[in-house]
Structure 1
Amino acid sequence: MPLALGTFIVPLIVACAMFMENVDATVIVTSLPALARDLGHDPITLKLAITAYVIGLGVFIPICGWVADRFGSRTVFRTAIGIFIVGSLISAASTSLPMFVVARFVQGIGGAMMVPVGRIIIFRSVPKSDFIRAVNYLTVPALLGPVVGPPLGGFITTYLHWRLIFFINIPIGIFGIWLANRHIANVREEHPGRLDWTGFVLSAGGASLLMLGLSLVGGELVSGTTSTLMCVVGALLLLFYWFYARRVELPVLDLRFLRIPSFHASVVGGSLFRIGLGAVPFLLPLALQEGLGMTAFAAGAITCASAFGSIFMKTFASGVLARFGFRHVLMVNAAISGLVIAIYGLFVPGTPHWLIWCVVLVGGVFPSLQFTSLNSLAYADIPSRDIGRATSVASVIQQISLGLGVTIAGLVLQISHDLQGHATIVWTDFWPAFLFVGLFSFASIPVTARMPAGSGDEIARGGRGST
């Protein structure tokens, strides 16, 4: 295969998977109220669907590299796309909330393998001299997904039926599998080493039970005792893993990387920030539809404004970091982002749509800069040989924090709704939830403040910030 073709076609195949995953993650949020009504549940309860997807995504990421080495990258990549398609079909056919939650978990498993293994395929297939060009091809679906997803999901939900949104993935996935069969070699390692199964079971089981337990608190599916028990067992498993990982040479998630100040600030401080931002894709479309009475299409057209703000900031992120440095940017930007999230709670019936769109546009600018900074800073002081293992730790904690954002937002919204005693969800139920999750952005500031002032300056001056 000619070099130029290889540099283009392999990233294109991975881009198909990324686009499918990004569209799926954003297309569903505008459909939650309609979906909830059809399944006979309160829209707040549908936070379970988002949480289940994030759990499937987060807990299986650490083992994707080993699985690709053991069974071959092409085999795992094709299988992951197939699993994602199956999860999409089950989602479309779901007639109950438990069935839909299981379907979303299956999709999460597929997504956990698709993108990380796709990146491995690129690094193994493309010459180092073409890495930057190849990775640039991947930014297109990453940017287009949040732009296309919300209005597309809103249009389908408003004028057709929410079940059809899950069929968007089918032709994209089949096209990706066909391309993979033709152009990707099934590279595998003869001796991939032993997987830390004990660590995987403890970490995956603990995170899953804790997240699901929190999501079920105050809901209709299980009793309060059951949800509390799930939280306790999950927390204990994670505690056991923490003790276990300290005694093992190569644990599936090596928490010792958190001792590195820049990595700690990026992962721990960044995760607090992500809790607040992770809540917005769930809360904002729900507030616009249930609180302000918009159609799903109108809500989707507004929520996609944040993606335009994100794209705009990416052109300036490197210059801002070079001028002010990571520490200063992360602290100031976290405060501004938290303030914007809280402002979302001030939207009332009659607020002009153009004004809401502009605020949401601004709300996409500062998180974009924050994520670029956090993702770049994470590896500033990590040795090259440890980047893969550090990535697993960062990825899992990031995904869990995004899921926690949805869970916490749902809990606060439910408490606010119950305390105010409304028969249905109204606009006044939302401001406490936006205010509370916005505070998590501010909570990240003290973590960042403990980072040495010059951390990441070499990366910032070099303008190599990762998006």
Structure 2
Amino acid sequence: MPPVMDPRTAKLLPWIVAIAFFMQMLDGTILNTALPSMAASLNESPLRMQSVVIAYLLTVALLIPASGWIADRFGTRRVFFAAILLFSIGSLLCAESPNLGFLVASRVIQGVGGALMVPVGRLVVLRAYPRSELVDVLSFVTLPGMVGPLIGPTLGGWLVEYASWHWIFLINIPVGIVGCIATLKFLPDLRGAERVRFDLGGFVLFGAAMVLVSVALEGLGELHLAHARVMLLLLAGLACLAAYWLHAAKFEKPIFSLALFRTHTYAVGILGNVFARLGSGAMPFLMPLLLQVGLGFSPSRAGMTMIPTAVFAMFAKAMARRLIERLGYRKLLTINTLLLGALIASFATVDASTPYPLLLVHLAIFGAVNSLQFTAMNTVTLIDLSDADTSSGNSLLSVVMQLSVSLGVAAAAALLQGFVSQYVHPSESQVLESFHYTFWCVGGMSVLAAAIFLQLSPDAGRAATPVEQHAAGEL
């Protein structure tokens, strides 16, 4: 049963969790713009600065699997406070870094905080509110996370140009201070019903799998590793994952129980997240490139062009609950997934002759559909889990979300590079054509997830909705 909260705490709690979402999403999008300036300031080659991104990525990939156990062991208030504090301290150390080695170490500290902030924040929401309110609360707390990618690149470019790269980290400090104070004052201290022994063997196997797979995915994209190395890393990661599966089958309390997949909505939601996020994860990578490289937009104009995507995503969050109650998860997710894939593929029609207002409308519709997809599939994944499984199930969802987005970016980058490499000296029209082919492929990948969501039962997740509860009360 959810804890009893006073009205003020119930109202403020989503805002506190939203701070964590905002900090992490802003940091993830603001940094890339500043890497060249950081390299010049630290007397490093820009090609070596990728370690700044990878250090954070690998730390998060390694620690997310343990986030649920840590929250159960030490309590959500203490862990959430420590996460925001570590993220803020790491940000301060990044801003004060005198060399690349110090900066990479500081990013690891940031990564420890980042690995705990969002999973533990979502776990607090899952435990603190009735399942009937889950759609509304999750929709609200993820809104600031959608603002981060909107303002991140533009803010990063402005800070580098008019101040210095240090400020991309220093802006986290006041937000972190507010988050720490609010956490200590209002966040409930929730723990698991029973204390279990930490699954160290499972953590090592699963963590190794996540790190190896993450490096392999980055190797396809930004690291530009040879394909043989990527395959070796990927196979090693899959071997560790298979070893974890065998370990979890015999261990009494594994870090991620195989019993989670006996909850049908959870199994469908996890698999649906993997494939649906391939397209959604690729879009923040593809669209700025299309606008700047394919259509010749300036960075500032490209950033402004993306505003309708974020604005209409926020409007869609407000409609999510009513649509889910009216259509049910099965029908909504099947239709919305098909529509999302079709919208992604339809960006293959955008070229220099596309009227600018039409492009803005196109992006606005995509933002709304994409936002509704995230809300519905995340909620259906978690809504039927038992209280005993919420911690483990929520942590696994966080891992899947991170890896599927990384896979989407890597797949889009590989597709785009493959299409462009067909030409010895590609012209502007051939580059644009390569973007079009990539959008067709990414949209097609997204459509495939609809077959997964069709496996939901027509009444999946609806037992927890207010409509059903009200009807039950009248009987």
Change (3 A) 1:273 1:56: farther
Correspondent of 2:162 among 128, 148, 160: 160
Change (3 A) 1:34 1:430: farther
Separation (CA, whole Å) in 1 of partners of 2:38 and 2:418? 19
Separation (CA, whole Å) in 2 of partners of 1:139 and 1:326? 15
User: In the alignment, is the contact (CA less than 8 A) between 1:337 and 1:367 conserved in 2?
Assistant: yes
Separation (CA, whole Å) in 2 of partners of 1:350 and 1:166? 40
**Count of residue pairs the alignment pairs up:** 457
Correspondent of 2:457 among 452, 456, 464: 452
Separation (CA, whole Å) in 1 of partners of 2:457 and 2:190? 41
1:352-371 superposed matches below 5 A: 352-371=355-374
Q: Secondary structure at the match of 2:421?
A: helix
Query: Which is further off, 372-381 or 87-96?
Result: 87-96
Is 1:434 paired with 2:439? Answer: yes
Separation (CA, whole Å) in 1 of partners of 2:109 and 2:356? 36
Change (3 A) 1:253 1:285: same
Separation (CA, whole Å) in 2 of partners of 1:310 and 1:369? 8
Give aligned-pair identity as a percent.
31
Q: Secondary structure at the match of 2:422?
A: helix
Match of 1:169 in 2: 172
Separation (CA, whole Å) in 1 of partners of 2:375 and 2:149? 21
Q: Secondary structure at the match of 1:348?
A: coil
Shift in Å, 1:442: 1.2
Query: Which is further off, 153-162 or 309-318?
Result: 153-162
User: Residue 429 of structure 1 aligns to which amino acid in structure 2?
Assistant: S
Query: Which is further off, 250-259 or 403-412?
Result: 250-259
Match of 1:200 in 2: 203
Q: Secondary structure at the match of 1:246?
A: helix
Shift in Å, 1:170: 2.0
Match of 1:239 in 2: 242
Match of 2:415 in 1: 412
Query: Which is further off, 393-402 or 446-455?
Result: 446-455
Shift in Å, 1:334: 1.0
Correspondent of 1:330 among 329, 333, 340: 333
Is 1:292 paired with 2:295? Answer: yes
Separation (CA, whole Å) in 2 of partners of 1:98 and 1:435? 41
Separation (CA, whole Å) in 1 of partners of 2:103 and 2:361? 34
Match of 1:61 in 2: 64
User: Residue 351 of structure 2 aligns to which amino acid in structure 1?
Assistant: V
User: Residue 349 of structure 1 aligns to which amino acid in structure 2?
Assistant: A
Query: Which is further off, 14-23 or 98-107?
Result: 98-107
CA deviation digits over 1:294-318, x for unaligned, max 9? Answer: 2322222222322222222223323
User: In the alignment, is the contact (CA less than 8 A) between 1:327 and 1:451 conserved in 2?
Assistant: yes
1:265-414 superposed matches below 5 A: 265-349=268-352, 351-414=354-417
User: In the alignment, is the contact (CA less than 8 A) between 1:146 and 1:304 conserved in 2?
Assistant: no
Query: Which is further off, 390-399 or 326-335?
Result: 390-399
1:45-60 superposed matches below 5 A: 56-60=59-63
Separation (CA, whole Å) in 2 of partners of 1:276 and 1:408? 9
List gaps (5 residues or longer) in structure 1.
none
Shift in Å, 1:273: 0.3
User: In the alignment, is the contact (CA less than 8 A) between 2:209 and 2:240 conserved in 1?
Assistant: yes
User: Residue 440 of structure 2 aligns to which amino acid in structure 1?
Assistant: L
Q: Secondary structure at the match of 1:147?
A: helix
Separation (CA, whole Å) in 1 of partners of 2:353 and 2:96? 37
Change (3 A) 1:141 1:422: farther
Change (3 A) 1:98 1:264: farther
Query: Which is further off, 170-179 or 49-58?
Result: 49-58
Shift in Å, 1:236: 0.9
Change (3 A) 1:365 1:33: farther
Separation (CA, whole Å) in 2 of partners of 1:299 and 1:21? 22
Match of 2:144 in 1: 144
CA deviation digits over 1:3-62, x for unaligned, max 9? Answer: 455445555444332322233334457x389779978668xx97x977765554454233
User: In the alignment, is the contact (CA less than 8 A) between 1:291 and 1:427 conserved in 2?
Assistant: yes
Q: State the TM-score, normalizing by the size of structure 2.
A: 0.80
User: In the alignment, is the contact (CA less than 8 A) between 1:28 and 1:150 conserved in 2?
Assistant: no
Separation (CA, whole Å) in 1 of partners of 2:101 and 2:295? 29
User: In the alignment, is the contact (CA less than 8 A) between 1:155 and 1:296 conserved in 2?
Assistant: no
Query: Which is further off, 55-64 or 264-273?
Result: 55-64
Separation (CA, whole Å) in 2 of partners of 1:121 and 1:326? 23
Separation (CA, whole Å) in 2 of partners of 1:72 and 1:405? 34
Query: Which is further off, 147-156 or 319-328?
Result: 147-156
User: In the alignment, is the contact (CA less than 8 A) between 1:327 and 1:449 conserved in 2?
Assistant: yes
RMSD: 4.0
Q: State the TM-score, normalizing by the size of structure 1.
A: 0.81
User: Residue 450 of structure 1 aligns to which amino acid in structure 2?
Assistant: Q
User: In the alignment, is the contact (CA less than 8 A) between 1:253 and 1:393 conserved in 2?
Assistant: yes
Separation (CA, whole Å) in 2 of partners of 1:186 and 1:319? 31
List gaps (5 residues or longer) in structure 2.
470-475
Shift in Å, 1:172: 0.9
User: Residue 447 of structure 2 aligns to which amino acid in structure 1?
Assistant: F
Separation (CA, whole Å) in 2 of partners of 1:313 and 1:190? 36
Separation (CA, whole Å) in 2 of partners of 1:73 and 1:324? 34
Separation (CA, whole Å) in 2 of partners of 1:431 and 1:33? 29
Is 1:443 paired with 2:448? Answer: yes
User: In the alignment, is the contact (CA less than 8 A) between 1:52 and 1:104 conserved in 2?
Assistant: yes
User: In the alignment, is the contact (CA less than 8 A) between 1:57 and 1:399 conserved in 2?
Assistant: no
